Amino acid sequence: MLRPVRPDGFVEPCLPTLATRPPAGPGWVHEIKHDGYRLIVRRDGDKVRLFTRNGFDWTDRFPVIVTTAGKVRAQSFTIDGEVVVCDPDGLAVFEALQAAQRWPEAFLYAFDLVELDGADLRSEPFGERKAKLAKLLARQKGGIVISEHVEADGAAVFAAACRMGLEGIVSKRVDSPYRSGRTTCWVKTKNPEHPAVRRVRETWRWRR
């Protein structure tokens, strides 16, 4: 059963399951996994709010995203995405995102549309939600960018992402609804040589 949208507009995000290799077979598409912060963008009329995956309000941190969201031609929407700061080569740099002076440079890679003009889209297939998201953002530039996906062999996409120095990929079932919490319909595969993976390993060693 779908979890209700909270009165403040926050929706608990859908979380991918970690795997050692991407899923194979038909019905899957693959997106780049960017090294940033998960962010829920909620617009209701003229009001825009940005929430972390745990529901904290970070609206004041990312002014470019707020300004762009305010220009989208819709009365209301809820977008799920990843906020990043990129280097000149277009690679997300987590350390730059952590620096307060770089927040004005941050933008959102949008990858899902949860609500639009009062319609709850969570029961719709991912492929349909993504198509509506692309249409919604077709005129926008700068602060919110669509996270493109590819329909190809997952192993080949993951290998290419590793060669490019990216964090990894997230594979998604095109027919899956949006479910808050952990799901096997979204699967993340991480590049073992990426700094984000090394950060996790170092944190784990420290906690032990």
Strands 28-33, 181-190: pairing kind: unpaired
pLDDT of residue 203: 46
Look up 33 and say whether it is catalytic.
yes
The overall pTM is greater than 0.85: yes
pLDDT of residue 204: 43
Per the residue annotation, which of 33, 130, 188, 190 is the catalytic one? 33
Region 56-83 average pLDDT: 95
For the segment 119-158, what is each residue's pLDDT rounded down to a tens digit? 999 999 999 999 999 999 998 778 999 999 999 999 999 9
Please count the other Cβ atoms lying within 10 Å of the Cβ belonging to residue 12: 16
Per-position DSSP letters for 47-95, written without gaps between them: EEEEE-TT--B-GGG-HHHHHHHHHSSSSEEEEEEEEE-B-TTS-B-HH
Torsion sign, CA atoms 68, 143, 180, 113:
positive
Region 19-35 average pLDDT: 94
Q: Which domains, from first to last, does the chain contain?
A: 14-207 (3.30.470.30)
For the segment 39-56, what is each residue's pLDDT rounded down to a tens digit? 999 999 999 999 999 999
**pLDDT at 68 exceeding the cut of 90:** yes
pLDDT of residue 81: 98
Mean pLDDT of the chain: 90
Model confidence band, residue 201 (pLDDT cutoffs 50, 70, 90) = low
pLDDT of residue 103: 85
pLDDT of residue 197: 65
